[in-house]
Amino acid sequence: MIYLDHHATTPVDARVLEAMLPFFTEKFGNAASKQHRFGWDASDAVERARKQVAALIGAGSKDVVFTSGATEANNLAIKGITRATEGADGSEVRRNHIVTIVTEHKAVLDPIATLAKQGWQTTVLPVERDGLVSVNAVERAITDRTVLVTVMAANNEIGVLQPIKELAAAAHAKGAWFHTDAVQAAGKVAFDVEALGVDLASITAHKIYGPKGVGALYVRRPSTSLRAGNRGVKIAAEIDGGGHERGMRSGTLNVPGIVGFGRAAEIAREEMASESARVGALRDRLLERLQATTDGMTVNGMMDARLPGNLNVSFDGIDGEALLVSLDDIAVSSGAACTQAEPSHVLMAMGHSKDRALASLRFGIGRGTTVDEVDYAATKVSSVVARLRQMSPV
């Protein structure tokens, strides 16, 4: 199998695994054990990883809260902000409005839908045909009752990079917090929370060649706040039981996973420039070869502001399910890993028909992808598309 689905997940880098292994055996201590060396060693390893993860996104180490992944981080950011705003007594608050966009990951859209059922006001904005949201549309949507604006940094399906700095500034101008799901962006393109002015950012290890089951939420503290009065972000915990992670996320820490996350972040920061250039060249090669051999193909999303390893294309006149089944030796997808049975809500939001959305492929080129693999994939896809059109034109 040729693996071209690196937006869904990535293999653990051998250097990451090497860093993790001792913490399954001889360094197995609980990071919360303060009375002996086993706990101290685990705690030291966690704090070292916290600094490595923070360095990847330009944050202070104390701003990083470890979670079980980006889904939990997104939920903690969105629900944590609303619970903190609501107050412990559940009294009515002046700010009860959230703004987001229709192409967000379900890990953002679903928590917001839950809050809407609980009485929160929500605005889900459309995107343009190229996948970008209009900054002016976001500005118009924010009111004096808006508590949070959340827009993902890079889309997980079409790879489009949103104008995060401008969107964060628009939120701050009206006194709202700004959160971004930075899962696909961090470690692949420049992403600095201070330069961008974001207040909360969700990231995860398994998109940057680290282990699954560990992520982090960046939470801006008062000492680094860009907002008036030097106020940091206050969020309420979603999980109680011991007060771990500065009271924001209780539970015994996944020390091996956190160590792996830290090492993966360190490698990504050191190698991002060269890796992005190499992966981007492979993506462009794939696109050029597909365009040269396949008619009726549309690139989804703008190319100018896009993740270097992402290519999302749709094909006219074929059945989407037959396309994926026929690519039996190439691992690609037609959308997010969590919604494979449905047409992509991202492509539908961009104005594509259901058939066009289903007849799409998302290529995710990664660290281990070779030129030969890209060339084989282009040839195979072109031949499959031609055969399907001849056999059963749609």
- Measured in degrees and rounded to the nearest 5, phi and psi for residue 31 equal -65, -15
Contact 202, 70 (CB under 8 A): yes
Residue 376, exposed/middle/buried by CB under 10 A (0-12, 13-18, 19+)? middle
How many other β-carbons are positioned within 10 Å of the β-carbon of residue 314?
A: 23
Q: Which tokens is 370 given?
A: 């070779």
- Measured in degrees and rounded to the nearest 5, phi and psi for residue 122 equal -130, 145
Which residue in the list 338, 348, 349, 386 is annotated as catalytic? Answer: 338
Calculate Rg over the CA atoms of the chain: 22
Return d(Cα 279, Cα 198) in angstroms, integer.
27
Q: Which DSSP letter does residue 303 get? A: S
151-174: b or e for each residue (b if 16 or more CB lie within 10 Å)?
Answer: bbbbbbbbbbbbbbeebbbbbbee
Handedness of CA 289, 291, 294, 300 (dihedral sign): positive
242 closest CA partner among 394, 30, 392: 30
Annotation says 127 is catalytic: no
List active site positions: 338
